[in-house]
Structure 1
Amino acid sequence: MGNCNLHSWLSSEGFCSFQKPRQDSQRQTSMAGCWCEDRGGAVSRRMSREGEAQSSTALCEPWEGRARRLEESRESQDSRKMTPWKPEKASRSRTLSLISVQGSSELQGHAPRPMQLPPRSEEAPRSCAPWCAVQEPNGDFASAKELREKPRRPSPSRAEGQGVTEVEPQRGCLMRCVWAIAQQPETKVLLPLYWYRRRCQMACALFVAVFFAAVGGVLFFASRTVHEVIVPYTKNDAEKVFSLEQDIDGDVLVYYDLPQVNMNQRGFIESKDSRVVTTFGSRVVCEASDTKDWARLRRAGDPSFLARIEAVPTADLAPCGLVALSMFTDSFVFYKSLSDSSDSWEKLEADESDVALPADATAYQKKIHGPSSGWSGLEIGGANSWLTPGSFYEHWKVWYRTPASPHVRNLWAVIRGGLSKGVYKVSFSENSPIWEDWGVPEKLIVISGKHSLGNKGALRCLGTVCLCLAGAEVLCVLLFAAFMPVRSTSSAGSYKLLHSIFLIQRSSIEQGLYQRLKKDLLRRMRRKKRELDVKEKLRLLQGAMDEYDSQVRDLQPFFVSNPERDRAERRLSELQWGIGDTPEAKEMQSRWKMEKMRRAPQRQSKGISVSLSPGLRLMFRPPGFGNFQVYSRRQVGPMHNPNEVSVAMFNDGKVMDVYNKKPSPPLIKFQPTVGIDISTG
């Protein structure tokens, strides 16, 4: 037997019941056992239109069954074969029609009886059992599944015989967005649960570990193929001789390397010329580095750099900032030895024209302009700059990109065609001594081959990261293997595991009944507005224990003899005896006490009664001329004898206090008060 709430317009006296079909081998009679019954179960009603012929069309879908079910259930004899009644469009009323197809002969000869239901709005929601069909306002029939798939709309309800429309509140644009974000989306991962098991996770972690280990090995092997030569020098060196142990094919990259310069600090990075760069979320300002005087002070020991600054005819320093003033200006010339005696050298061509990133040309295109008439240098924002076009400008663009680490390595030039094995020499056409004054121990020249994956340091760094990830995955595999549960093959191990599962389930049942009993006790106290007596508490406790017994009985294995009923009964008993000590019960008791005090009439004493109400007044009088005043007063204490507390502020501190004969009133004035209430009975 099932219930079916056809629509909110269905009368509150009835509900739709259905009789499940059963097959009989002897009698192959099918019937539709759907009828409408009163909620009280007194009588069964048939609904159809009077005067119409019986038809096989039904609102409830027919199923195969036997008629013996109807014959055995005599309480449903009023279910008869009926014809559907199609309401007229003008009345907008609805009628539920039920029918039995090839039913028992007892159903014949009964006159159909219509039952008119209240008018229903077209916007009512549709809710029905899957096997029930409902007649639409246009006369068509639709199944419950089709009705559920249609858009749901706010439904009108009927309260106390009058039509009261309860419409779902409309959400605004912002609330609709919040509601859409708050909904848990349907998962897009369609992997089976097997992939989340321990063994599968171990296999995945092992595969990832092998993959990262292989990638790290490849990167380390690639770094070994990149030949790199480091040439250190100081401010006192005019040239340096070095040798290559093997040939370097392809283009050769020449870097300058400055260790321990700490150029990644925020104060240094923000010290740039705002006419050249603009940043998002931070500022650029030339503080203490915007004039030639600051340049002479900061690079006092570098005459070649100061000569570039002094060559500018104007007093403006462009570009300004610490980044520009600390530019690396050393230049190198490379030579190759033509003989073993190193007496003859051949000059090598180093290309310095294409060392900056391609994006730098676009970034400075509209801010830094070429030479104009009367000045051979560049112009920044209409001012003459100490930057000169050519390789020096390219080196400045490379330097203006500050590194993220305290170690600086920038590209200086590219030697095309590669270098062969032999002896080489580098001559310093400009060697700035300022770096040793700034704490740099030595400057380095790095000559390295070119690789498609990057330079030697980058390959080693990425290889180290990959090997660390591989080690982390191997650690995960070991942890999965260490905590792998061991399956017990013996019956004792299986019984122990089942017993543990039963105890966990029993504990969950006990906790659920504990919470439900607590809610029932508090709800009963809230409804009765008093503490429950012993009989009421014991009745609720007995109901909870009966529910515990029924649920545990279904879960208890045959080999478990103790369902721990005593423990659950002791815990629930402690709850029902101590329910008055819970915070919720204490809050209700205090509220009942206050309500009782408010409802209780105040006793009138005979004769004369005197009531004292102490109070407090606090006033702040800051300096001023009395043009601002704030005053607050509040009554505290019992309602029949309240006390008054007043706090005020009045800015008349500069006005003479004529009452106390002082040039200014006190800053804080504290005054206790007493109110006297005298009444006669």
Structure 2
Amino acid sequence: MESSQQQDQKQPSSIGQAIKQQVLKAWQPVPTINSTIILFAILSVYFLSMGIVLNVYSGEINQQSFRYDAYCQGYPVCEFPIALDTDYKAPIYFYYQLDNFYQNQRRYITSKSVEQLSGQQGLGVGDLSTCYPVITNGQMGKNLSINATPLSSNDPAIPCGLIAQSYFNDTFNITYEVNDEVTNVTVSNEGIAWPTDLGLYANTNISQQWLNVTDERFIVWMRVAAMPNFRKLWGIINQDLQQGRYTIVIENNYNSSAYGGKKFIVFSTTNQFGGKNEFLSVAYICVGVASSLVTIAFCLKKYFSRVDHKKL
């Protein structure tokens, strides 16, 4: 009795044997002309409807961009006049845009210290090889900390690396005039960074840092862009802006002419699908049209096949 049970345990199961012998039954769909027509008809309806919806929603988004580097060239501070051509409802997203800046270069992307940015203390120059070629305060070109404490040129720069060195440091102050009274527009830098990124940054020692690494504008800059022309969020305006003329006082610190670039500021609203994105709606519509053409082709094929069959 025991020997027969042991033999039964040694025998592989039918499923296991079928897997090893690769003889499991498989279901393979056999497409027919009717199922193909139904499939492509569903795809065409879905993509066309989504494309139209996205296009309508994208058209409702207000967005304007203004190039200011040529206007402010040679001036450390300049007053840049703009005109909003429509009313903007809060929240309004205020971006800066850089053209011809390649943040996707391999050496640039890796030039930072994750340990340093996370607040780890006691890191010396020898521990920051990933920040090459910008490791020390001297290489970073900084001699004062955030609280104006002198920095040694041979000490590690906090933060170090090429990404931190090229940090976008232009500032913007938006004002408008009503009844001969100048009013400031508050641009908040809270909530502009990804929530997942906020926990990755921590200060080590303010008296040894040339920059506050928990500043959300710095955190946004550290998430490198994939393309040479990109926008990054500088702040959020939590008040409505009326159509009209505004003045932006710009501290023109960032040198874009060194790499042949351009600088813009962008005002934009959003909707349930995010910011203005005409490409996505066009892509959906193109796929929907292509699916419709395939559906029509198969319908014609089915029709002529029936005609030929009747003739026979």
The two structures have a TM-score, normalised by structure 1, of 0.38
1:295 is aligned to 140
Taking a change above 3 Å as real, the CA distance of residues 284 and 361 of structure 1, as seen in their structure-2 partners, is: farther
Taking a change above 3 Å as real, the CA distance of residues 386 and 490 of structure 1, as seen in their structure-2 partners, is: closer
In 1, the alpha carbon distance for the partners of 2:157 and 2:82 equals 39
2:289 is aligned to 471
In structure 1, which of residues 377, 389, 403 is the aligned counterpart of residue 225 of structure 2?
403
2:169 is aligned to 329
- After superposition, residues 112-511 of structure 1 pair within 5 angstroms as 153=8, 179=19, 184=24, 186-187=26-27, 196-234=31-69, 235-236=72-73, 238-276=78-116, 285-296=130-141, 312-314=150-152, 315-339=155-179, 344-365=181-202, 368-369=203-204, 371=206, 375=207, 384-388=208-212, 393-428=215-250, 430-440=251-261, 442-457=262-277, 460-481=278-299, 483-484=301-302, 486-487=305-306, 488-489=308-309, 493=312
Taking a change above 3 Å as real, the CA distance of residues 287 and 153 of structure 1, as seen in their structure-2 partners, is: same
In 1, the alpha carbon distance for the partners of 2:157 and 2:17 equals 53
Taking a change above 3 Å as real, the CA distance of residues 261 and 182 of structure 1, as seen in their structure-2 partners, is: farther
Letter paired with 1:292: N
| 3-state SS of 2:256 partner | helix
Note if contact 2:137-2:151 (Cα within 8 Å) is conserved in structure 1.
no
| 3-state SS of 1:231 partner | strand
In the TM superposition, what is the alpha-carbon distance from 1:437 to its structure 2 partner?
A: 0.8
In 1, the alpha carbon distance for the partners of 2:219 and 2:22 equals 48
In 2, the alpha carbon distance for the partners of 1:178 and 1:284 equals 55
Note if contact 1:227-1:248 (Cα within 8 Å) is conserved in structure 2.
yes
Letter paired with 1:396: F
| 3-state SS of 2:219 partner | helix
CA displacement 1:39-69 (0-9 Å, x = unmatched): xxxxxxxxxxxxxxxxxxxxxxxxxxxxxxx
Note if contact 2:94-2:268 (Cα within 8 Å) is conserved in structure 1.
yes
Taking a change above 3 Å as real, the CA distance of residues 122 and 463 of structure 1, as seen in their structure-2 partners, is: same
The gaps in structure 1 that reach 5 residues or longer are 1-91, 93-120, 124-151, 155-166, 297-304, 376-383, 494-681
In the TM superposition, what is the alpha-carbon distance from 1:401 to its structure 2 partner?
A: 0.6
CA displacement 1:62-89 (0-9 Å, x = unmatched): xxxxxxxxxxxxxxxxxxxxxxxxxxxx
1:43 is aligned to none
Which structure has the highest helix share of the two? Answer: 2
The gaps in structure 2 that reach 5 residues or longer are 119-127
Note if contact 1:243-1:421 (Cα within 8 Å) is conserved in structure 2.
yes
CA displacement 1:276-310 (0-9 Å, x = unmatched): 469xxxx98122121234334xxxxxxxx776699
Note if contact 2:170-2:254 (Cα within 8 Å) is conserved in structure 1.
no
Letter paired with 1:208: L
Give % identity. 23
Letter paired with 1:337: E
In 2, the alpha carbon distance for the partners of 1:225 and 1:452 equals 11
Please provide the CA RMSD for this pair: 3.6
Taking a change above 3 Å as real, the CA distance of residues 269 and 475 of structure 1, as seen in their structure-2 partners, is: farther
Note if contact 1:274-1:284 (Cα within 8 Å) is conserved in structure 2.
no
- After superposition, residues 601-616 of structure 1 pair within 5 angstroms as none
In the TM superposition, what is the alpha-carbon distance from 1:476 to its structure 2 partner?
A: 2.6
In 1, the alpha carbon distance for the partners of 2:26 and 2:108 equals 49
In the TM superposition, what is the alpha-carbon distance from 1:153 to its structure 2 partner?
A: 4.6
Figure out how many residues of one structure are paired with residues of the other and give that number: 290
- After superposition, residues 626-665 of structure 1 pair within 5 angstroms as none
Letter paired with 2:55: F
